[in-house]
Amino acid sequence: MSERRPVPGVGVAVVDAGRILLVERGRGALVGKWAVPGGRVEWGETMEDAARREVREETGLVIRLGPVVWAGEYIGPGEPPDWHYTLVDYVGYPIGGSLAADDDARDARWVTVSEAMALPLADAMPALFENLVPYL
């Protein structure tokens, strides 16, 4: 039996004019939940390159990447867990492209934090939003 290990992932809280970009997950562990764009880091890819790629693939936007604003993990459900991701989220700023949900995102939209709180969010989003206050 092979040893199971956490999968590294990244996310990007893209901010602009007091709003944050969220996507509705279309597949995977958080299908139907709203979260920042993100996904798995591919073999040989830096976390920063993965973050920019995931935003481009899911939203069509090109970004300038800022600092890390949150780190944590998603585990579960099940025993042993069905999945385990270790995550690092960056702040980012749009510099090009056109917003359009694609890849594994069902929808993508700009929202204020108060508008976001009314959506079915991934569990870590409220903690991430608290860390974004200086960037909004």
| Residue 79 falls inside a structural domain | yes
| Residue 16 falls inside a structural domain | yes
CATH number where 30 lies: 3.90.79.10
Q: Quote the tokens at residue 78.
A: 């099940």
Are the CB atoms for 66 and 90 separated by under 8 Å?
yes
Are the CB atoms for 5 and 90 separated by under 8 Å?
no
| Residue 24 falls inside a structural domain | yes
Quote the pLDDT of residue 103.
83
- Cα distance between residue 9 and residue 72, in whole Å: 10
Q: Domains in the chain: how many in total?
A: 1
Residue by residue, pLDDT tens for the chain (136 residues) are 467 899 999 999 999 999 999 999 998 778 899 999 999 999 999 999 999 999 999 999 999 999 999 999 988 888 888 889 999 999 999 999 999 999 889 999 999 999 999 999 999 999 999 999 999 9
Q: How many CB atoms lie within 10 A of CB 124?
A: 19
Q: In angstroms, what is the C-alpha Rg of the chain? A: 14
| Residue 62 falls inside a structural domain | yes
| Residue 119 falls inside a structural domain | yes
| Residue 127 falls inside a structural domain | yes
For 94, the domain range is: 7-135
| Residue 1 falls inside a structural domain | no
- Cα distance between residue 50 and residue 37, in whole Å: 11
Quote the pLDDT of residue 88.
98
Quote the pLDDT of residue 81.
86
| Residue 85 falls inside a structural domain | yes
